[in-house]
Amino acid sequence: MKKNDEFNVKIEDMAVGGEGIGKVAGIALFIKDALIGDTVRAKVMKMKKQYGFARMMEVIEPSPWRVEPKCQFHRQCGGCQIQALSYEKQLEFKQNKVLGNLQRIGGFDVDKLPVEPIVGMDDPYHYRNKAQFPIGTDKEGHIVTGFYAGRTHQIIPNRDCALGVSVNEQILDIVIGIMEEKGITAYDEETGKGLVRHVLIRYGFTTKEIMVCIIINGKKLPYADVFVEALTKIEGMTSITLNHNLKQTNVIMGDEITLLWGQEYITDYIGDIKYQISPLSFYQVNPVQTKKLYSLALEYADLKGDETVWDLYCGIGTISLFLAQKAKKVYGVEIIPQAIENAKNNAVINGIENAEFFVGKAEDILPDFYEKEAKAGRKAYADVIVVDPPRKGCDSILLDTILKMQPERVVYVSCDSATLARDLKILCEKDYEITRVRAVDQFCHTTHTEAVCLLSNRKPDARVKISVETEELKKVKEEK
């Protein structure tokens, strides 16, 4: 088999990135947009020794799970990978992805794991509360916006993404319209010239509050008052800001924010807890599923009211405040200082007094705390530790400290099941076992999924001994 050869091939499996996998003469071909169950005509693009990559030229016989996608750009756009796959089959794919990683990377026997069925959405479209639209210029010199094509920074013009809220289009029409009319330039990534880079839109699903943040390569936005006047006509407009990003980088946001109108944040609810969200804070993008995810984390934490809980990688305190409703004390740790400011404020606006927050790396704060306590003759204590790290997972120093602290339960919330499996392996080789695990589909039509896992301490007496020791230590000290 060589480059440009064409074959008909039956797709028998799907890779973690959503590509269909078919075999020709015993060699696996990875074919983007081909779905499990399809027979497709494919053209070989690149060959390696054991496998190759091919382009889908035509669907010869469609898979029974192939459906009509809502978005006409689903193949070019880098946002969705599996929109043409029925939602039920998407859920099965994601569940298998999590289990596959636990087996391959974690070394777990998944047939013996207490796996609960993946939590999907009733309506898996228009679920995103956040979108970042890149602004560019097309060949005719018109301002365009939409989404990047897969693996490139070429903009596919589309203001009406099937995953986003409908007000996105209205906002983009206004911004682009004024840019065209007033001759305001779009940023050009190659030259580093031009002004408007991205438009960030956030929407509070419960409060219906809208945030627009225009990210510019400069200090000032000309005709800012014209933008404000037009945007404030939209019902629910709450926050209009500029973000200044003068660096020639593909990082979207800079650090500095200027308020143009209204306030710097919007408010939204998850369950009974309200959160203030600024342009720079991390906030889960799918609020409907986030409620289910956090409720599950809370259920796994199994709090009775007198527990000490650590919530590591806490962002704006989302999970921490959820837990604080049921725990004695919650400590949250997060690396971004603004997020911790939000977290503290979120505690205040909810009247929550039993949550405390620390800025820093989880892998610094918790081990330092452990060492300090040890020096003082005490043992750092937690009944439950919750972790919700970014895709790269937890640092091994942090996992070591968790093992030293011996909480009764660890609740691991993960957006990447590969690093989840790697970290669970470390914890389960020592004192923990997986007692519950469940995927939650936060990112319908993409190949990503969240998963929550409950780890229980196999040595339930370890903690009792510790608290007795602490009591005894106290007594010894008092006697002295």
Residues that bind ligand SAH (CB under 6 A): 282, 284, 313-315, 318-319, 333-336, 339, 361-363, 388-390
Nearer to ligand SAH, 217 or 414 (CB): 414
CB of 65 to ligand SAH, least distance (A): 31
Helix/strand/coil (H, E, C) string of 370-435?
HHHHHHCCCCCCCCEEEECCCCCCCCHHHHHHHHHHCCCEEEEEECCHHHHHHHHHHHHHCCEEEE
| Strand 51-61 to 27-32 pairing | parallel
Q: What whole-number distance in Å separates Cα of residue 405 and Cα of residue 467?
A: 12
| Strand 51-61 to 39-47 pairing | antiparallel
Dihedral angle over CA of 400, 311, 106, 95, nearest 10: 180
Give catalytic status of residue 394 as yes or no: no
Residues belonging to the chain: 480
Q: Which two tokens stand for residue 313?
A: 């990688």
CB of 282 to ligand SAH, least distance (A): 4
CB of 413 to ligand SAH, least distance (A): 7
Q: What are phi and psi of 216, to 5 degrees?
A: -125, 155
CB of 308 to ligand SAH, least distance (A): 18
Nearer to ligand SAH, 356 or 433 (CB): 356
Place of tokens 């790290």: 389
Residue in the shown chain whose Cβ atom is closest to ligand SAH: 315
Nearer to ligand SAH, 278 or 284 (CB): 284
Nearer to ligand SAH, 31 or 333 (CB): 333
Q: Compute CA distances 52 → 78, 151, 360, 446, 447, whole Å.
A: 21, 18, 44, 23, 21
Q: Is 285 in contact with 442 (CB distance < 8 Å)?
A: yes
Q: Which residues contact 364 (CB under 8 A, 6 or more apart)?
A: none
415, 428, 444, 453: the active-site residue: 415
CB of 331 to ligand SAH, least distance (A): 12
CB of 313 to ligand SAH, least distance (A): 3
Q: Which residues contact 115 (CB under 8 A, 6 or more apart)?
A: 95, 99, 437, 438
Nearer to ligand SAH, 313 or 432 (CB): 313
Distance from chain centroid for Cα 170: 26
Nearer to ligand SAH, 47 or 285 (CB): 285
* Catalytically active residues, by annotation: 415
